[in-house]
Amino acid sequence: MKYCGECLSKLIGVIGSGSATTYAPLIVYEGSEDIVREESLVLIRDEARNLTYLGILRYLKRLEPFLNPWQRTSYVDEPSLVDSGTFPHTTGYVYIIGTIGNDGRLSTPVIPPNPGSKVYLIERADNIRLNLGSGLLIGSHKYSGIEVPLSYSALRYHILVVGATGTGKSRLVTALIREVINKSSWNVIVFDHSGLDYVPFFKEYVVNASDIVLDPLLIADNIARVGNVSNDRYLTDYITLASLTYSLCMSIKYLEEVPEELNEIMSKCKRVATECQASQGEIRGLSSVVDLDKVIDLMAISKLTWNRKCFRDLLISIAKSMGARESTLVRLSVITDLWLGDTFFKRLSNRYLLAKDLINKVFNDRLIVVDLSNEDNIVRRYIVTYMLKALWDLIDSERREVNTLIVIDEAHNYACRTCKPSVDLIARTAREGRKWGLGLVLVTQRAIDVDPDIRNNINTVLFSKLQTPSDYENISSFMSLAGLKSEYLMTLDKREFFLAGLGNPLKIPILIKVVEVK
């Protein structure tokens, strides 16, 4: 085997005719065919111009001039001739990354390599002097072991992690989170959809979503949805009024000390708090003084307890005072007692965390992991929205960068076109977040399910084996893949991902093996 004296890499072939600045045809030497693999890194040494190119091998093919499927030869009619001798050889393409300077830095190639330039295989990191700069180390090139740092700038320009179940997406993101915390000044908020992917690795930073206070309007929407009456305007009005009234009056009831400014509201809430009853006039009186933000604050301070029987009685009394028919009252009672039950109201109780509390916590601790596993999808979306809104309120009021990374697991449940209300604030973050140091990491099995308005603002993609061919087509529609074949993705093992886009210092997609996470 021949070696390059300068770089100790193995000589595997020469550049053929028809080279360009983006790719060049490769003719592989016969003795090197057993070590040449697609996605290997190679050097092209153009002695005539004293240039060294770095590239990636793709489209390897085995050819034989006498067995051309488009040309009839004597081999077709005399198969025995095959045994007497053929002349197979291997060709492929080197996709050119750049030219390597004396300092090891890469530059954009301005002229193609000369045909006849020798090509060397990089088998180890010490085969080459390559300066890719600093960054977040989440893995190294699969075959050479060269570390490929993810650029710090990728954080504010958003990252998409895509792969079928079992490819190791959560391990990759866990490695990324650790690097961000250890090597940058950024904070990280993680939304763990199942509570199984990130919670085990960051137990001391976990916040249970069941401790986060829910908006009374969301609670009303949830009750209407579970009771299958979301399209009934009258019933949803009754439920909304009951939810607001219960949240306000019962929060005041459970306060250890009632502030003086709440005395007026407390007097209007007296019958609600003692009898779980309210008339239309009482509701009108409360509506004139209610402040939704204040109600949510009171719910947190009092750790509001929800009682099914009391809420049912309040709901029925409100509906009755507003002229509801007897059949409607029975229906509301059935929804509360049978469709919802005590379990539903127990899950609403004893919540005490507000979005501003969590934002303060992440600025102090630099990391929080929100365990969403005990909530249904509607509540999960609300909590993501709640947190993003708090960050945007901070940005809008103080006009300063927040340097915070938002990691959303199973992002197709939050960032799809119909995933209201979370999709709207995720889309705003994708469009405007880079200006204010607010970045996204969306982790999903299906890239195609992410809303195009969000997808088109993502500048770095890490992808592995995909669920369907349409996902590959979708990624290639907004990210250059430089000749990468979708069929090759099916051969990838666990923790093997392609890094593409702005965060990739090598500019064209490169195959990395993600570091082991324990």
CATH at 506 = 3.40.50.300
| Shared domain check, 474 and 427 | yes
**Whole-angstrom Cα distance, residue 247 to residue 241?**
10
**Whole-angstrom Cα distance, residue 392 to residue 480?**
32
| Chosen domain end from 97, 131, 165 | 131
Bridge partners (DSSP) listed for residue 207: 370
Residue 462: inside a domain: yes
| Shared domain check, 191 and 224 | no
Structural tokens at position 47: 């002695």
**Whole-angstrom Cα distance, residue 355 to residue 200?**
23
Q: What is the pLDDT of residue 1?
A: 35
| Shared domain check, 116 and 157 | no
Residue 141: inside a domain: no
| Shared domain check, 159 and 125 | no
Task: Determine the straight-line distance between the first and last CA of the chain, rounded to whole angstroms.
Answer: 40
Contact 435, 463 (CB under 8 A): no
The closest of 121, 167, 124 to 144, measured between CA atoms, is 124
| Shared domain check, 257 and 117 | no
| Chosen domain end from 348, 379, 406 | 348
Q: Which domain holds residue 409?
A: 147-211+353-514
Residue 136: inside a domain: no
Residue 1: inside a domain: no
Q: What is the pLDDT of residue 75?
A: 62
Residue 5: inside a domain: no
Contact 116, 397 (CB under 8 A): no
Residue 19: inside a domain: yes
| Shared domain check, 238 and 204 | no
* Whether the bond into 452 is cis, omega within 30 of 0: no
The closest of 130, 175, 118, 84 to 2, measured between CA atoms, is 118
Q: Is 265 helix (H, G, I), strand (E, B) or coil?
A: helix
Q: How many CB atoms lie within 10 A of CB 94?
A: 28
| Chosen domain end from 348, 368, 396 | 348
| Shared domain check, 80 and 178 | no
**Whole-angstrom Cα distance, residue 7 to residue 54?**
12
CATH number of the domain where residue 34 is located: 2.40.30
Q: What is the pLDDT of residue 5?
A: 44
Residue 328: inside a domain: yes
* Domain total in the chain: 3
| Shared domain check, 15 and 78 | yes
**Whole-angstrom Cα distance, residue 156 to residue 460?**
10
| Shared domain check, 369 and 320 | no
| Shared domain check, 510 and 363 | yes
| Shared domain check, 503 and 433 | yes
| Shared domain check, 477 and 399 | yes
Per-residue pLDDT of the chain (518 residues; tens, 9 = 90+): 344 544 556 899 999 999 999 999 999 998 888 899 999 999 999 999 999 999 999 999 988 776 777 666 666 666 666 666 567 789 999 999 999 999 999 999 999 999 999 999 999 998 888 999 999 999 999 999 999 999 999 999 999 999 999 999 999 999 999 999 999 999 999 999 999 999 999 999 999 999 999 999 999 999 999 999 999 999 999 999 999 999 999 998 878 777 777 777 888 888 888 899 988 888 887 877 778 888 999 999 999 999 999 999 999 999 999 999 999 999 999 999 999 999 999 999 999 999 999 999 999 999 999 999 999 999 999 999 999 999 999 999 999 999 999 999 999 999 999 999 999 999 999 999 999 999 999 999 999 999 999 999 999 999 999 988 888 888 888 777 877 888 888 889 999 999 999 999 998 999 999 999 98
Q: What is the pLDDT of residue 8?
A: 54
Residue 400: inside a domain: yes
Sign of CA dihedral 477, 478, 483, 489: negative
